[in-house]
Structure 1
Amino acid sequence: MLRALTFAVGVALATPLASASHLLQRQSTGNSSNSTYPGAVDPAAEPGAQSFQTSGPFYPSPWVNGQGDWADAYAKAKDFVSQLTLLEKVNLTTGVGWEGEQCVGQVGSIPRLGFRSLCMQDSPVGVRDTDYNSVFSSGQTVAATFDRGLFYARGNAMGAEHKAKGVTVQLGPVAGPLGRSPEGGRNWEGFSPDPYLTGVAIAETIKGIQDAGVIACAKHFIGNEQEHFRQTGEAQGYGFNITDSISSNIDDVTMHELYLWPFADAVRAGVGSIMCSYNQVNNSYSCQNSKVLNDLLKNELGFQGFVMSDWQAQHTGAASAVAGLDMTMPGDTVFSSGESFWGTNLTLAVLNGTIPEWRIDDMALRIMSAYFKVGLTLNEPPINFDSWTLDTYGPLHASVGANIQQVNFHVDVRGDHASVIRNIGARATVLLKNVNNALPLSKPKFVAVIGEDAGPNLWGPNGCSDRGCDNGTLGMAWGSGSANFPYLVTPDSALQSQALADGTRYESVLDNYATSQINALVSQADATAIVFVNADSGEGYISVDGNEGDRNNLTLWHSGDALIQNVSAICNNTIVVIHSTGPTLLTEWYDSPNITAILWAGVPGQESGNSITDVLYGKVNPAARTPFTWGPTRESYGTDLLYTPNNGNGAPQDDFTEGPFIDYRSFDAQNITPIYEFGFGLSYTTFEYSNLQVTKLNVSAYTPSSGMTEAAPVLGNFSTNLTDYLFPNSSFPYIRQYIYPYLNTTDEKQASADPNYGQTAAEFLPPHATDGSPQPLLPSGGAPGGNPQLYDVLYTVTATIKNNGTLNGEEVPQLYISLGGPNNPPLVLRGFERLSIDAGQSTTFTADILRRDLSNWDTVSQNWVITSYPKTVCVGPSSRNLPLSQSL
């Protein structure tokens, strides 16, 4: 039978009460000024992150109220949840256990109302663990397009495929990791280390997914910037003796101006779900950290959806419930254990008053508000795939092999998405170097393609589980963010097809170490050598060539740097194509005169070969921009990962001492010249910038939010007779290891299996954790995304962009702002637009500057303020090429 685990484990760790003055803690709710604030604490003048920081408590957990455009969904949710029994509410919040049903995560169903189980499914590049689905470009790759329309189109196509498979919640998109360090294993799942670019990309992706009728789940919240030490069991498997997960130690300013920024955009875009991460934040686990969940997310950002745990990221029962967790995934404490912090324990906790009734109501309201907001109904089609087998028939409950039936219906959900993927892959390809118009190619006489990365995985495109190898071309990185390829067009096959159509001689050598054969080929007359190289990474549960999720270094894999140097030493027309999950070191070879072109093609998905061929041959004129900086050395980035525990067997302490200075912000502040700067990218044509105009708009002064919330809604009484909560009679189809909400005895202590059962909430929960009375509104809050006036347009910027070349093309003007303070980054991105401009024609670039774009976080007033330092707006084609500027 189900064993109910100790409910209050780890409360002290979940809710530490000490906090230094500058840490993540509300110090004041005083008003800030209306426009400029000379008295603001200067950002980055505050002490930076420190080891053993603690996270101050914030209670109670804010309750959903339907604000913003959530009103209709909230009304439907309230009507629905008002009909539910306590057992049904617990069913909504608790996963049924690992491999309990068909999806990677499911909660219990509500058969009485015809409500089937919610299906949670990876991934951020396609529907994971099924067939007849597409594999899309990675988030980092699409970020390079700097194209809002493509962000949305990709999200919408992915959402449509998840919807057609029966998925309720797509586990993406990603803003954590943001990309603090370039070696981070899952940086490719996100978008960019710039919070503005990531914010735009995640918002448009969410809109696309949810317009398709699927709930998006923004992840991983928050400070999840490396794979090493994210989970103790995983780390112990690699030989590290630690007892707690890594703590990302982040100060208040950096949290707001960097890591929280894109999540504010996600909330403002209406995201239905947010996944809390494995790591600790300031030494409190993310999924029970009341500061980040209750205060930052639900209070300040006004998040109306539900918080879901990452798989096995829940460490307590009552403590996580009052700290803001709304759904536990996959439900069991340890995979396939049948034991849960919630389920039976959550039922008991509400019955005995440990968890107030309003909190379980709020969990259910948040889940159902998100459900109705994306247009889901009570008559959704069944799930038509199974995550645990591709066979047509198999067990419905894979963990125990029970209920053999048809579990896969092999529904083809791809539609015309191949054309979307091909287009994104091409428009995301960054042209970093192009000497003497080496590109585009036009019926070259002889093409020699070199490198393993041009060819296939000899085991097949899905030959490595969760893509946990680096064999052949890099079309997808590894981990739970992967999906099964329906096919993979390799560069070798696509380029050969183009050569055949052109009458070009074509040969390829797909072994990086076949040195004599390569040398013999590329030394021949008229050779255009195209060298394909890569660098891979992924999630920490898989190690590839000794890279435990995170990259060990920034060099190319499979001796790629030596391969490039060998070929370019022989062939004076060497073109390099890099597939990678982030920047690599190019210093030793990028400026060779024999290397005539360099392209970064990211992680492009199933149409990889077609996309790069379209660019190399000029069918698509490149305009992509690098979404990160290419530095001369590993040390030039100013950040790195923690590869060795630094706290004995306790939680490793990862101190974000660099504050908001990551990627180009760090290079600019340190005056380090990058190889290729953030936002850089070439075209086959040229553009001219002129006529910068800045128009100031008349807007009302900034008013901090004030007043009180309503009291927490309680939706109805429930029985306190424990007999009503026992397992149904013997005819009930009990499944071993499945997580149920029922009790197995009317003896509360025995049902809980907790030797300390009987403690009251007041004995182990923090003050105010169960308080449902009206609460004060935060000055910086007031609506989804924060104070609505943060989004007022203060200035409109325009500039004229002329295509003064001979080819039609696209250009990406970028707007940067200097916030002026001595401790601010020299420049921060605050606008961009991808424009299509015919040869000889001009068009107008337009960008709005919001109040938020000019503000800094003030730790004293706990609000956004515009400092009195002079502000300057700059416009140009990259972060280091800004020909137009004007003071505000």
Structure 2
Amino acid sequence: MINDTLLSFTAGRDMWSTVAANDVPSAKMADGPMGIASGRVDERDVSILTPSGIALAASWDRALAGVVGALVGGEAKRKGVDMVLAPNLNLARSPNAGRVFEMFGEDPLLAGTLGVAWSRGLQSRRVGSIAKHLVCNDSETQRDRYDAIVDETTLREIYLLPFEMVARAGCAGILTAYNRVNGDYCAQNAPVLTDILRHEWRYGGFTVSDWFGTHAGAESLNAGLDLEMPGPARFMGTKLRDAAAHGTVGVNRVEEAVDRIQIAARTWAGGDAGAEPGDRDTILAQAAAAGFTLLRNDGDLLPVAPGSVRQLAVIGPNALAPCFQGGTFAKIALRPDAILPVEALRARFGVETIVFAPGCPLAAAAGNACTPRARSRRWLRHRHDRRLLRWP
């Protein structure tokens, strides 16, 4: 007989936490990967914002990715978070991707290599890494409706490879995507969750649905999903009571799922994150710089030293109204007084040296400007910008 206590572990307790019982603690999760986003995501609850995944990918630096992951792990512990939904291992292979800034590009080997490094860095701070979104979640447009039809070779050699690498490296969990793959929702896709993930890769961590990404209870559990999020249960948890009573779900499968969830909670909940891998501001500045690529430096013009030029033109709206991150559910709350690029340049070279001009309005900034000051820049909100933003 499968009792309600056992079943309750297969669904979250609330929006971000797992169920606790007896000697099993509740583990708190948060969204990522560029920082910690959950709960009060506003000016009351700011987090460090790390360089985007696509910028880290441009560095080709595994060690750097690991250090950045470790920084996020320390931030998680500071905010009482035990596991982070990151890294994002989807591939930037579609103009509809929408979250390319979070990803490590379109090359599966690069994405997997840096994903492993980032995940290990996070977990070095005793914070569990939940890799996402398994699999083919490469479009934000209708991401909870579309069906990715993909042949087995392409699926394995391109889309699944980064997840295989991180799974074999021992990430704490894997989060299923919203979309379907070859007809089945990812949260109830047995060929991926059971045949490949469990039987072939021998993955021992837990699997969790993306938030509100489940569509059925028994079907998801039997396909290999261990945990439905968020809670309270909609399809799994005690909602599986009738299915358990009628034998639609077996006791062995329920116990297997619960064991994985409880092991994760005992492993990652609480504890100390240890020391930072170095000075945080220095690491963030180095990581941001590592993503830049200098194609040509005629006459050793760069770097420009203070005092070496009489005037320096700074052209472009991002200098005054930067978009520090893309639009996503994992948006990191930033300090409202974040230093703007043009201000930083003026502080370094002198106010009289820097001559700024917007150049042209930036359509994306109208919807994605990320600071209160940026949102107040009326010259970014022309009707022309709105027309460019409208999806066809």
TM-score of the aligned structures, taking structure 2 as reference length: 0.84
Partners of 2:96 and 2:138 within 8 A in 1: no
| Residue 376 of structure 1, CA deviation | 3.2
> Which position in structure 2 is the counterpart of 1:138?
52
Q: SS where residue 208 of structure 2 aligns?
A: strand
Residues 327 and 286 (structure 1), Cα distance of their counterparts in 2 relative to 1, 3 Å cut: same
| Residue 119 of structure 1, CA deviation | 1.1
In 2: Cα distance, 1:534 partner to 1:271 partner: 38
What is the one-letter code of the residue matched to 1:108? V
RMSD between aligned residues? 2.7
Q: Deviations over 1:485-533 (max 9, x none)?
A: 1353321111111102xx97222234635xxxxxxxxxxxxxxxxxxx7
> Which position in structure 1 is the counterpart of 2:349?
499
What is the one-letter code of the residue matched to 1:148? R
> Which position in structure 1 is the counterpart of 2:259?
365
In 1: Cα distance, 2:125 partner to 2:214 partner: 30
Q: Deviations over 1:786-822 (max 9, x none)?
A: xxxxxxxxxxxxxxxxxxxxxxxxxxxxxxxxxxxxx
Partners of 2:12 and 2:19 within 8 A in 1: yes
Q: SS where residue 175 of structure 2 aligns?
A: strand
Q: Deviations over 1:75-117 (max 9, x none)?
A: xxxxxxxxxx843332322123xxx4xxx4222221x32x432
> Which position in structure 1 is the counterpart of 2:71?
157
Q: Deviations over 1:819-873 (max 9, x none)?
A: xxxxxxxxxxxxxxxxxxxxxxxxxxxxxxxxxxxxxxxxxxxxxxxxxxxxxxx
> Which position in structure 2 is the counterpart of 1:579?
none
Q: SS where residue 198 of structure 1 aligns?
A: helix
In 2: Cα distance, 1:423 partner to 1:359 partner: 47
Residues 276 and 477 (structure 1), Cα distance of their counterparts in 2 relative to 1, 3 Å cut: same
1:481 equivalenced with 2:330 (yes/no): yes
Residues 328 and 509 (structure 1), Cα distance of their counterparts in 2 relative to 1, 3 Å cut: same
> Which position in structure 1 is the counterpart of 2:317?
452
> Which position in structure 2 is the counterpart of 1:118?
27
Q: SS where residue 350 of structure 1 aligns?
A: helix
What is the one-letter code of the residue matched to 1:505? T
| Residue 353 of structure 1, CA deviation | 2.3
What is the one-letter code of the residue matched to 1:218? A
| Alignment of structure 1 residues 11-22 onto 2, 5 Å | none
Partners of 2:9 and 2:237 within 8 A in 1: no
| Alignment of structure 1 residues 467-866 onto 2, 5 Å | 472-486=321-335, 487-500=337-350, 505-510=353-358, 512=360, 544=367
The structure carrying a bigger helix percent of its residues is 2
> Which position in structure 2 is the counterpart of 1:427?
290
In 2: Cα distance, 1:193 partner to 1:310 partner: 22
> Unaligned regions of 5+ residues in structure 1, if any?
1-84, 232-244, 333-338, 383-412, 456-471, 514-532, 537-542, 546-557, 560-642, 645-888
1:92 equivalenced with 2:9 (yes/no): yes
1:184 equivalenced with 2:97 (yes/no): yes
Q: 2:304 is matched with which residue: 441, 448, 467?
A: 441
| Residue 381 of structure 1, CA deviation | 7.2
Q: SS where residue 227 of structure 2 aligns?
A: coil
Q: SS where residue 275 of structure 1 aligns?
A: strand
Rg (Cα) greater in structure: 1
Q: How many residues align?
A: 360
In 2: Cα distance, 1:182 partner to 1:441 partner: 35
In 1: Cα distance, 2:364 partner to 2:296 partner: 19
| Alignment of structure 1 residues 138-537 onto 2, 5 Å | 138-176=52-90, 178-231=91-144, 245-331=145-231, 340-372=234-266, 375-376=267-268, 380=270, 416-442=279-305, 443-455=308-320, 472-486=321-335, 487-500=337-350, 505-510=353-358, 512=360
| Residue 158 of structure 1, CA deviation | 0.2
| Residue 277 of structure 1, CA deviation | 0.5
Partners of 1:474 and 1:534 within 8 A in 2: no
What is the one-letter code of the residue matched to 1:376? W
In 2: Cα distance, 1:361 partner to 1:153 partner: 36
What is the one-letter code of the residue matched to 2:11? T
What is the one-letter code of the residue matched to 2:243? A
In 1: Cα distance, 2:126 partner to 2:139 partner: 32
Q: Deviations over 1:713-737 (max 9, x none)?
A: xxxxxxxxxxxxxxxxxxxxxxxxx
In 1: Cα distance, 2:224 partner to 2:8 partner: 17
Q: SS where residue 432 of structure 1 aligns?
A: coil
Residues 181 and 363 (structure 1), Cα distance of their counterparts in 2 relative to 1, 3 Å cut: same
Partners of 1:220 and 1:277 within 8 A in 2: yes
| Residue 162 of structure 1, CA deviation | 0.7
Identity of aligned residues (%): 31
Partners of 2:150 and 2:181 within 8 A in 1: yes
| Residue 535 of structure 1, CA deviation | 5.5
Partners of 1:172 and 1:216 within 8 A in 2: yes
TM-score of the aligned structures, taking structure 1 as reference length: 0.39
Partners of 1:331 and 1:342 within 8 A in 2: no
In 2: Cα distance, 1:109 partner to 1:426 partner: 43
| Residue 183 of structure 1, CA deviation | 4.5
Partners of 1:447 and 1:504 within 8 A in 2: no
> Unaligned regions of 5+ residues in structure 2, if any?
369-379, 382-390
